[in-house]
Amino acid sequence: MKLADLSELVLLAAVWGASFLFLRWGAPAFGPMTLAGLRVLGAALFLLPILAHRQGLAELRQVWRPMLGLGLLTSAIPFVLFSYAALSITAGLSSILNATTPLWGALVAFLWLSQRLDAMRVLGLIVGFGGVVFLAWDQASFKPGGSGWAILACLAATLSYGLSASFTKRYMGGVSAMTQAAGSQLAAAVWLLPFALWFWPAATPEPRAWVSVVGLALLCSGLAYILYFRLLQRVGPTNALAVTFLIPVFALLWGGLFLGESLSLHMLAGCAIVLLGTALAVGLIKRAVRSAAAPAR
């Protein structure tokens, strides 16, 4: 991987890691529905002019029906659920649970697209989800004010991400990356705006909450999508997937710096288990072993 690509990968992880900070700032003021709705609306308004400049609106009109499904799975559902989770659990824990996305992706691809799972990937699924159980074991309380529903919301959000990956492969083949990015945000806005207006907060949100909306829309959705899809084209999906491992690092950093969140040994161990399972499930460890064993030329 070139230094420029590696720099963009780290920048992407830093931006996506910051999304959990912005959620913690914005969700209490706007509520999950309104915050998610404003996020996708802002991202759509940012990305659509870029798509128009690239002559992509005609392609978007051709795939508007499946785009509604993509927007629902890749943005509308997970953004609401992560916003809800931000009301009661830390940015660090949310980001670690977000790292289970590739695990769900592998499982959904096996069940939906019949993609083969070898023994190493099955072990990865077991280890990864075991890490989630380890993380949630002493934290998941379903009593009023407990974190149990928030943890389940994060896992449901990552399941939605996993479904969106297989949905994209099944129904969005040949559609340009920029069309998918802009179209999915527009579709998500169509789904969420009625609820965003219905649940609009009675009290005017403070400036910091509006900063979080701008950050989520322009940085964590608009700019992040451009960086991500550019990395996919330059370094391929396997290398781009490395961002999954870096996001919790930055989310924990931002949470510690700006929210005063602490990192316990239990959370650190759970994070390591989840990331190990993810690396096994997506085949990164197997590929690394093969590369190391290959004779030099």
Convert the pLDDT of each residue in 100-129 to its tens digit: 888 888 899 889 988 888 888 889 889 988
Report the alpha-carbon distance of residue 130 to residue 256 in Å, rounded: 26
Helices (H), 137-176: 148-171
* Residue 30: strand, helix, or coil: helix
Pair 91, 255: CB distance under 8 Å:
yes
Sign of torsion, CA 130 112 154 239? positive
* 294 pLDDT higher than 70: no
Tokens (6 digits) for 4? 């420029």
Q: What's the pLDDT score for residue 277?
A: 85
Here the tokens at position 96 are: 């670690």
Q: What average pLDDT is seen over the chain?
A: 88
Locate 237 and state its tokens. Answer: 């999906």
* Mean pLDDT, residues 254-277 taken together: 87
Instruction: Round to whole Å and give the CA distance between 273 and 280.
Output: 11
**Structure confidence by residue, pLDDT tens digits, 65-106:** 999 999 999 999 999 999 999 999 989 889 989 988 888 888
Find out whether 128 and 272 touch, Cβ atoms under 8 Å: no
* Model confidence, pTM: 0.89
Domain edges within the chain: 3-289
Is residue 143 pLDDT above 80, yes or no?
no
Query: Position of tokens 């990331």?
Result: 275
Nearest in space to 125 (alpha carbons), one of 138, 112, 108 = 108
Residue 83 confidence (pLDDT): 97
pLDDT tens, residue by residue, 42-73: 999 999 999 999 999 999 999 999 999 999 99
pLDDT > 70 in the chain, percent? 90
CA atoms within 13 A on the CB side of 240: 14
